[in-house]
Amino acid sequence: MAGKKQYIVDERLWQKMISQESFSGEVKFMEPMKAHTYLQIGGEADVFACPQDTVSLENILAALNEERIPFVTVGGGTNILVKDGGIYGVVISLKNFRRSDIAKEEKDMVMFFAESGTPLQKLVSFSKENGYSGIEGLAGIPGSVGGAIAGNAGAFGYSIKNMLVSVRMTNPDKGIYEMSASELGLEYRASKLPEDTVILSANMRLRKDVKEDVAKRINSFLKRKRETQPLSEMSAGCVFKNPEGASAGRLIDEAGCKGMRIGNAEVSRMHANFFINKGNAKASDFLKLMDEVKKKVMKVFGTELEPEIRIMGRNVN
């Protein structure tokens, strides 16, 4: 956030920066982020803006750039932990960017187009209904296409990288441009997206397959997930990345952390790499729990765990 201002962006400042004609969409001020995250944790964002179209999005980005006001983009809010003090500047939600369609069909392949706010599971269902293969391992992962690309989401050896062809994005300096998937530096649960860049849409390639086979794979992955992960509880998915050659869940479990609790944040008894909000948990409790678990795993196994979830926002003063 170097060079960016850190003061509250209020309604007056917003109206001074963004004229009514230059923005269509919804804007909220002092918006509790707990309403926009799967974990249901997080203080207030100064501004929570949901642009309706690309022009409105570009206009906000240009104004924020000019005023050097920080922003973050959120998709489904599934993989983030927002601190209790909320977020400086502007949170841009891409929930209105959810068009998806087949862009091109070839003999064995189909090219998909999806805007970044499209729910990942909408694509999984579409692939299941039509017998398109390549996306099966993403079954049951909540969140949006944009978020899945930013974190290279995946499971069961699949990741979104495997089917991604190109991504259209916008940045206040360059405007709208496209990058091929290989230029995004997608690695295990990570990407190297240029700073202040917002993903607009993606093109993905899937292979035509036997419908029943695709459905069978999707159903079996969903079954395994339901049996091993606490899907019905408030979590942000796996908290830590798997260290090379090991499972963070297994290490946390074997270090004796299952059921460990700070305030209302608890290490799941079902899968130890999921931390659960048992009700009104504070981000500070969740972070303390992460710290305690990290220390225990370090003590028992000498392994340093690295967060997979994206932590953002300010501490309470």
Which residues lie across from 133 on neighbouring strands?
207
Shortest distance (Å) from residue 309 CB to ligand EPU: 8
Residues that bind ligand EPU (CB under 6 A): 155-156, 228, 237-238, 241-242, 247-250, 253, 271-273, 308
User: Do residues 65 and 47 lie in contact, with contact meaning Cβ atoms separated by under 8 Å?
Assistant: no
Shortest distance (Å) from residue 256 CB to ligand EPU: 11
Shortest distance (Å) from residue 247 CB to ligand EPU: 4
Task: Tokens 């917003």: give the residue.
Answer: 14
Question: Given the complex with ligand EPU, which of 42 and 237 has the nearer CB atom?
Answer: 237
DSSP states along 79-123: SEEE-TT-EEEEEEE-TT---EEEEEE-SSEEEEEEETTSBHHHH
In a 3-state reduction of DSSP, which class is residue 299? helix
Question: Given the complex with ligand EPU, which of 43 and 137 has the nearer CB atom?
Answer: 137
H-run or E-run covering 285 = helix 283-301
Question: Given the complex with ligand EPU, which of 43 and 75 has the nearer CB atom?
Answer: 75
Shortest distance (Å) from residue 84 CB to ligand EPU: 23
User: Do residues 51 and 283 lie in contact, with contact meaning Cβ atoms separated by under 8 Å?
Assistant: no
Task: Tokens 């579409």: give the residue.
Answer: 126
**Residue 261 backbone dihedrals phi, psi, to 5 degrees:** -140, 135
Work out the number of other CB atoms within 10 angstroms of the CB of residue 237. 23
Shortest distance (Å) from residue 180 CB to ligand EPU: 24
Shortest distance (Å) from residue 272 CB to ligand EPU: 3
Shortest distance (Å) from residue 123 CB to ligand EPU: 17
In a 3-state reduction of DSSP, which class is residue 158? strand
Question: Given the complex with ligand EPU, which of 69 and 252 has the nearer CB atom?
Answer: 252
Question: Given the complex with ligand EPU, which of 201 and 273 has the nearer CB atom?
Answer: 273
Going by the DSSP 8-state scheme, the letter that residue 36 receives in this structure is G
Which residues lie across from 91 on neighbouring strands?
48, 72
**Residue 51 backbone dihedrals phi, psi, to 5 degrees:** -60, 150
Question: Given the complex with ligand EPU, which of 166 and 242 has the nearer CB atom?
Answer: 242
- Token pair in block for residue 308: 């997979």
Question: Given the complex with ligand EPU, which of 113 and 156 has the nearer CB atom?
Answer: 156
Question: Given the complex with ligand EPU, which of 50 and 148 has the nearer CB atom?
Answer: 148
Shortest distance (Å) from residue 242 CB to ligand EPU: 4
The whole-angstrom separation of Cα 22 and Cα 90 is: 16
